[in-house]
Amino acid sequence: MATAAIGVADTCLAAREASLALATLDTATKDAALEAIASALEDRAPEILEANARDMQAGSDDGLSAALMDRLELDDARLKGIASDVRTIAALPDPVGETIEGHRLDNGLDVRRVRVPLGVVAVVYEARPNVTIDCSALCLKSGNAIVLRGSSMASHSNAVLAQVASAAVASVGVPAAAISLVSGGDRDELRQLATQDGLVDLIIPRGGEGLKAALKEHATVPVMYAAAGNCHVYVDETADLDDAIAIALNAKVQRPGVCNAAETLLVHSSVAAGFLPRALTELREAGVELRVDGRARAASGALADSLADASDEDWATEYHALILSVGVVDSVDEAVQHINRYGSGHSEAIVTGSTSAAQAFTGGVDAACVYVNASTRFTDGGVFGMGAEIGNSTQKLHARGPIGVRELTSYKFVVEGSGQIRE
């Protein structure tokens, strides 16, 4: 396996050479490599969990937040889930070589647009060691080599997982350098990775604003941001309030440290007095700290004096914690305006009984995933039937939403003739 010991440039060069073999690899060999990864995860579980325990202890000693510790932790169930995801990816249709469209020109030339791998994908990520395997499996299935750069807080976990995956694919004849890891040490290493023109075709960062800023400063390689999630739930005037409470609770509480968790609850003024006392009570009982605007406070009944004020900064913040901002609006259009101003374009939800309100919301909100009467927590490549995801893109080029195997491909035009020349 390529490592940081041989340098970032050499690691990327080895990955580039591996990508040339991967681009023409048959589906059966790729699927065998993925099965080898899944089996190795199960066979070497004690070694993996021991390495993760070292990271967890270091995180505890360093005072990592509960959300980060949750992202960092592996256990038997999570490791089995990762192996299952790898097998799910193996079972997906191979996107490479798929004809997207084709037609015949008047001169007899057959023109086809065909899916091809991107080449070398670098993924920069923080905390979550499962990303090491999820991203490696997705890249392998789509014919790409991957260079991984995790964070120091998961260094032991990432090192053993990358070694397990690299050795597994090599056991079935796939180049070991198809899955490579750089250490996740300093910012200079990140700068080197982000400037490997001609070797790295795409960088996908999964992390906070600091990581995004660092890449924007240095990157000469194309970047597709798996961006942060400042997500909203809007309760419309026609909403079923029991459903709205369940959706708001799930979106905030089920796993608050992830990017598809809700950070703001917006409520139509006509149902605020009937909804907020119940909803805020249940949210508080679930451990949520509430920050409200003046109208939400006025509609919150006996809770009013115990609630904190929401600031402009709160509306724009992804908390990664059990904190929720709450506001009251007068229309679906006002909710859309608020979301488009403060949201990150990730996942937004409306709870409504009105078709017209639903259409106004889904048409007006500028986000990768928009929900009607469902929690934002469903935004996930695995949940969407994509096996897993490298991240969720909030960009519009070239992919948006969960990044799966098809989003890790480009295309080429294949033109077949019978001796035609252009006059």
Q: Strand 323-329 to strand 262-268: parallel, antiparallel, or no bridges (unpaired)?
A: parallel
Q: Is residue 207 part of a domain?
A: yes
Length of the chain: 423
Residue pair 159/127 in contact (Cβ under 8 Å)? The answer is no
pLDDT score, position 418: 98
Q: How high is the pLDDT of residue 71?
A: 86
State the pLDDT at residue 335: 98
DSSP state letters, 269-285: HHHHHHHHHHHHHHHHH
Contacts of 121 (CB under 8 A, 6+ apart): 135, 139, 144, 145, 146, 147, 200, 201, 202, 203, 204, 390, 408
Is there a domain that residue 334 lies in?
yes
Q: Is residue 423 part of a domain?
A: no
Residues 95 and 218 in one domain: yes
Do 197 and 340 share a domain, yes or no? no
**Are 339 and 403 members of one domain?**
no
102 plus 136 within the same structural domain: yes
| Residue 312 included in any domain | yes
User: 204 lies in a domain?
Assistant: yes
pLDDT at 2: 41
pLDDT at 382: 87
SS3 371: strand
Whether 385 is in a domain gets the answer no
Strands 401-402 and 392-393: antiparallel
25 and 148 share one domain: yes
* CATH number of 370's domain: 3.40.309.10
Residues 336, 402: one domain? no
**Domain range for 112:** 4-226+390-416
Spell 216-226 as b/e; 16+ CB within 10 A means b: eebbebebbbb
Residue 183 CA: distances (Å) to CA of 2, 12, 100, 125, 148: 11, 13, 38, 12, 8
Instruction: Name residue 9's amino acid.
Output: A
| Dist. CA 81–CA 388, nearest whole Å | 11
**Residue at 259 is within a domain:** yes
Q: Which pLDDT score is estimated for 3? A: 42
The C-alpha atoms of residue 26 and residue 140 are separated, in whole angstroms, by 11
**406 with 115: CB under 8 angstroms?**
yes
H helices present in 350-417, as ranges: 355-364
Q: What domain count does the chain have?
A: 2
What does the pLDDT read at residue 127?
78
Claim to verify: residue 30 and residue 176 sit in the same structural domain: yes
Shared domain for 14 and 85, answered yes or no, is yes
How high is the mean pLDDT in each 10-residue block of the chain (423 residues)?
66 97 97 98 98 96 89 95 95 97 98 98 90 96 97 94 98 98 81 95 86 88 87 98 98 93 98 98 98 98 96 95 97 98 96 98 97 97 88 89 95 98 94
Q: Rounded CA gap, 150 and 393, in Å?
A: 19
CB 264 within 8 A of CB 367: no
Instruction: Check whether residue 24 and residue 60 sit in a common domain.
Output: yes
Same domain, 149 and 202: yes
Domain of 105, CATH number, reads 3.40.605.10
Tell me, yes or no, whether 190 lies in a domain.
Answer: yes
- What does the pLDDT read at residue 6? 66
* φ and ψ at residue 25, rounded to 5 degrees: -70, 140
pLDDT at 96: 98
- Pair 74, 161 in one domain: yes
Indicate whether 190 and 286 sit together in one domain.
no
